[in-house]
Amino acid sequence: MSHLLEVKDLKVSYHSYAGEVQSVRGVNFTVDTGESVAIVGESGCGKSVTAKTIMGLIQTPPGEIKKGSQILFEGKNLLDMNEKEWQAYRGSDCAIVFQDALAALNPTLTIGRQITEKIMIHTDMNKEDAMKEAERLLTLVGIPNPAKRLKQYPHEFSGGMRQRAMIAIALACQPKLLIADEPTTALDVTIQADIIDLLKDLQKEFQMAVIMITHDLGIVADIATKIVVMYAGKVVETGSNYDVFYNPRHPYTQALLRAVPRLDVEEDQELESIEGTPPNMIAPPAGCAFCTRCKHCMKICQKMEPPTYEFEDGHTAQCWLYHEYAQK
């Protein structure tokens, strides 16, 4: 069966003042129709860069997508497309919701104008129909008084409402894939919960695929059916939500799950802290990037990149611990 989206050996670098920052260093994962995939990782692990590359939003230069990288959307390699094809793809096939809705929306245009503009570019609707469609979309994302709200400017919206408006814009033209890049990080928890619920409902209703980029394991547990854990520009573990949460294979995932306190469990033990700091992406280590912070580090980990092992169906981890010679 072919996948909706297949990312193959994606490598992206940024040329900065200090040198070449290797943000993404060979990322592989797939997304199927109707699936919600969460990409989890800490800041600087390359999760946002991956999302931006899928949307074709990497500025080159300073960015550089390395040769050999492939992003297949319904079998077509996105990285071979020209700007015109990208424009058709963005919006109608794939849409993105950013963390900072205030920065992503144009402050000088009304919300209605921003939605209808997009609808009119991608379809042959006239202005009136587009306005009706926009009103329908705002209702869909749970914005009260849509007719009035369409005439308002982004600054007249509260943070949660702005994010809903962003989602409405993303939903226009019914994309097959929705990328949500930390959509709730800037929001309060009660509003965050509303937005996550909304995304879940919309996904069910439209059978969209959703890629959720986040650092919050709670959100991952809430929304994802499949989890991609990233560390220092690489995928260290992928699997279904149950596999990753209840049977994590990579030491990083294991440590990460024990590093966050649980609200619902009474516990007195100390949190497990992951000592040290993530590696410098200008000169990433030769071996496993996590080895300086890993409790099970072996000599081999410092020298060579770990291979990928598959456990249950679709549950993979990149770690030397599963090599036949490794001491258990």
Partner 1 sequence: MAKLVSPLTQAAINAEEFAKVEREKSYVEASFERGLLHHLGKALKDNKLALLCLIILCIIIFSSVFAFLSPYDPDAMDVMLKMAPPSAEHWFGTDELGRDSFTRALYGGRVSLTVGFAAMVVSVIIGTTVGSISGYVGGTVDAVLMRIVDIFQSVPSLLLIIVFFSFVPNNMMTLVVMLALFSWSGVARIVRAQTLTLKERDFVIAAKTLGVSHPMIILKHIIPNMTTQIIVAASLSVASAILDESALSFLGYGVALPKSSWGSMLQNAQQYILYDPLLALIPGAFILLTVLCLNILGDMLQHALDPKLHK
Partner 2 sequence: MNQNEKILEVSHLKKYFKAGKGVLKAVDDVSFFIRKGETLGVVGESGCGKTTCGRTCIGIYDRTEGEVLYKGKDVHSLKGQDKKDFTKEVQIIFQDPYSSLDPKMKVGDIIAEGLRAHKMCASKEEERKVVNDLLETVGLNAEHATRYVHEFSGGQRQRIGIARALAVEPEFIVCDEPISALDVSIQAQIVNLLIRLQKEKGLTYMFIAHDLSMVKHISDRVCVMYLGTIAEITDSGSLYSNPLHPYTQALLSAIPIPDPKVEEAKNRIKLEGELPSPINPPEGCRFQNRCKYACDRCRCERPELKEVEPGHWVACHLTDK
**Residue from 119, 120, 158 nearest 137 by CA:** 119
Instruction: Kindly tell me which residue out of 216, 292, 297, 322 binds partner 2, with binding defined by CB under 8 A.
Output: 216
Q: Kindly identify the residues of this chain, within the stretch 247-306, that bind partner 2 according to CB under 8 A.
A: 255-257, 259-264, 266-267, 270-275, 277-278, 293
Alpha-carbon dihedral 280, 281, 285, 287, rounded to 10 degrees:
130
Q: Does 324 participate in binding partner 2 (rule CB under 8 A)?
A: no
Binding mask 151-170 for partner 2 (x = CB under 8 A): -------x-xx---------
Burial status of residue 206 (CB atoms within 10 A of its CB: 0-12, 13-18, 19 or more): middle
12 binds, among partner 1, partner 2, none (CB under 5 to 8 A by kind): none
188 binds, among partner 2, partner 1, none (CB under 5 to 8 A by kind): partner 2
Residues 219 and 260: their CA atoms lie apart, in Å, by: 13
Residues 95 and 190: their CA atoms lie apart, in Å, by: 25
Instruction: Kindly tell me which residue out of 9, 85, 156, 188 binds partner 2, with binding defined by CB under 8 A.
Output: 188
SS3 assignment, position 98 = coil
Residues 69 and 114: their CA atoms lie apart, in Å, by: 33
Cβ at position 245, least distance to partner 2 in Å? 5
Give the residue with the Cβ less far from partner 2, 9 or 242: 242
Q: In Å, what is the CA distance from 31 to each residue of 112, 209, 220, 227, 309?
A: 32, 7, 16, 10, 19
304 binds, among partner 1, partner 2, none (CB under 5 to 8 A by kind): partner 1
Residues 256 and 267: their CA atoms lie apart, in Å, by: 17
Q: Which residues bind partner 1 (CB under 8 A)?
A: 16-18, 249, 275-277, 279-283, 285, 292, 294-300, 302-305, 307-311, 316-318, 322-323, 325-327
SS3 assignment, position 163 = helix
Give the residue with the Cβ less far from partner 2, 1 or 263: 263
CB 28 within 8 A of CB 7: yes
Number of residues that bind partner 2 (CB under 8 A): 44
Q: Does 148 participate in binding partner 2 (rule CB under 8 A)?
A: no
Number of C-alpha atoms within 13 angstroms, CB side, residue 102? 8
Give the residue with the Cβ less far from partner 2, 91 or 251: 251
327 binds, among partner 2, partner 1, none (CB under 5 to 8 A by kind): partner 1
241 binds, among partner 2, partner 1, none (CB under 5 to 8 A by kind): partner 2
Instruction: Kindly tell me which residue out of 245, 309, 311, 322 binds partner 2, with binding defined by CB under 8 A.
Output: 245
Residues 193 and 190: their CA atoms lie apart, in Å, by: 5
DSSP label of 182: S
**Residue from 121, 129, 131 nearest 173 by CA:** 121
Q: Does 18 participate in binding partner 2 (rule CB under 8 A)?
A: no
Using CB under 8 A, list all residues that contact partner 2. Answer: 42-43, 158, 160-161, 188-190, 192-194, 196-197, 215-222, 241-242, 245, 255-257, 259-264, 266-267, 270-275, 277-278, 293
